[in-house]
Amino acid sequence: MENQEATVRYRNKALCALLAVGMLALAGCSSGTGIPALDRDLAETDKWPGDKSQLEDLDMQSVRFLVTHDNADYFAAASADEQTACLFKFVQGEASAAGGCGGAGGADAIVEVRTPGTKMMLVRAGSETSDLEDAGWARIHENILVF
């Protein structure tokens, strides 16, 4: 009987240890911003197409190309502490950008940008956007909706 109880205790401890390791592994793979592209290595396509002054207080090394859609390139960037995340849209062939930044906390929508020619939203990966899509927004990337 004692041997059985010891085996059960051992299995419970082993299971707890495996669960803890799994949770740590998952936590280590996810950005606090909810934008997985910010966690990948810098690639040639991530080169910032505009003036560096457009990035203001953002971490230049965080710039990541996300997608091309309707003759425009979309980039994300974050502050060094990942408390702020930004979305920028560059129409191909132009140096100016439409963009905005928002708090990268737990809300699904990080920032919505509206200009005369642009309506776009940066959202956390895996966010529920069906209501927005029903209202006419289109998901062009796991982190971007446009209208």
Q: Name the strands in the sheet holding 138-141, side by side, starting at the edge strand that comes first in the sequence.
A: 109-115, 118-123, 144-146, 138-141
Tens-digit pLDDT profile for residues 62-115: 999 999 999 999 999 999 999 999 999 999 988 789 999 999 988 999 999 999
* Calpha distance 62→42 (Å, rounded): 8
Output the pLDDT for position 17. 34
In order of 128, 136, 138, 139, the CA distances from 131 in angstroms are 8, 9, 11, 12
Q: What is the pTM of this model?
A: 0.79
C-alpha 17/C-alpha 27 separation (Å) is 15
Instruction: For residues 32-54, give the mean pLDDT.
Output: 95
